[in-house]
Every structure is written in structure tokens, then in C-alpha cells.
Amino acid sequence: MLAFPAIDPIIVEIGPFAIRWYALAYISGLILGWRYMLRLTGDLPLREVQVMGEDGKATTVREPIVSRLAVDDFLVWATIGVVLGGRLGYVLFYKPGFYFDNPLNILTVWQGGMSFHGGLLGVCVATLLFCRKRDIPLFTFADMLGCTAPIGLFFGRIANFI
């Protein structure tokens, strides 16, 4: 039988503030996924976009279907989707009775409670809304996201053992 190491789930604790391994996994997955997605934008086909110049004249420029700025903005959308979706998934799937009786405890994320499937649904909703708002082809963006998702999944699975 394999011995399972007893690793403290808290990396650093300063007074009431604590950083957990699971939070580090989320942060690492999001940042490394974002960086990889930025690299993927260079491989995308170009599209023509009308841009207003300083002189007030419209100019046509060619840019990737998904710009680097859009990927930067999506990092915020994905973070919100993962955290809100993960927390709501935990509340609805694992302890709905407790949280319906104590709704203010839904906000106590520092006590733990995130779900993978809730986070996945949250990112899916965030992606749909983001692509609609930015007029980005959903399937092109989903292909990029599908390439980056294993990074976050890797760190999340490792953190599950801690």
C-alpha cells in the first residue's frame, strides 16, 4: 500500500491571512493558461477591421481573429467564471440545504468549498458572454481555450491531493 503524505494545505499564514495550495493551483493554472493562450494568438488567421485614425478617416487593418488584448481581458472573465461557478456549484451540488438555511455563509469562501463542474460551467458561461460581447467566433475561441484547459486541470488535480 502506498503511503499518502500529510501535507499542510496552507502554504503561508500571516495572522488571519492564509494562502492555500489550492489557491496557488488556481492562480498558476489561470496565469500559465493565459500566457499560453497569448502565444496561440500568433497562429490565428487574420481578419480585416476598420479603425478610425486620428484624422477621422477609417483605415482597414489586419489583426488576428482573437487579439492579445482580448486574451488579456478574458483572463478576468475566466477568473470570475471559475470562482463564482466553482462556489455556486459547491453550494448547489454538495450542501444546498445548509446554504439555503444560512445564505450569508455562501460568501465564506475561505472556509473551503469549490466544485470542478461548477467552475467548468462558470467558465463556459463566461466564454459565451465574452465571445458575444467581443464579437469573437465562439468555436475559434473554444479551440484556443481547449488547448489551455489542461494546464489548469493539471494544477487542480495536483492540489486535490494536498
Q: Tell me the pLDDT tens digit for each residue of 119-132.
A: 999 999 999 999 99
The number of domains in the chain is 1
- Residue 138, in any domain of the structure: yes
Looking at residue 55, what is its pLDDT? 84
Burial 10-33 (b: 16+ CB within 10 A, else e): eeeeeeeeeebbbbebbebbbeeb
Rounded Cα distance between 68 and 88, Å, is 30
Q: Look at residue 75 in the predicted model and tell me its pLDDT.
A: 97
Collapse the DSSP code of 162 into the 3-class scheme (helix H, G, I; strand E, B; otherwise coil) and give the result. coil
**What are the pLDDT digits (tens) for 22-80?**
889 999 999 999 999 999 988 877 778 788 878 888 888 887 888 899 999 999 999 99
How would you classify the pairing of strands 10-14 and 17-20?
antiparallel
In a domain, 26, yes or no: yes
Backbone angles phi, psi at 58, to 5 degrees: -80, 135
The answer to the question of residue 64 being in a domain is yes
pLDDT above 90 covers a percentage of the chain that reads 59
The H or E element spanning position 114 is none
Task: Dig out the grid coordinates for 138 from the structure.
Answer: 465562439
Q: Is residue 1 part of a domain?
A: no
CB 124 within 8 A of CB 77: no
- How would you class 6 by CB atoms within 10 Å of its CB: exposed for 0-12, middle for 13-18, buried for 19 or more? exposed
Residues of the domain holding 122? 12-160
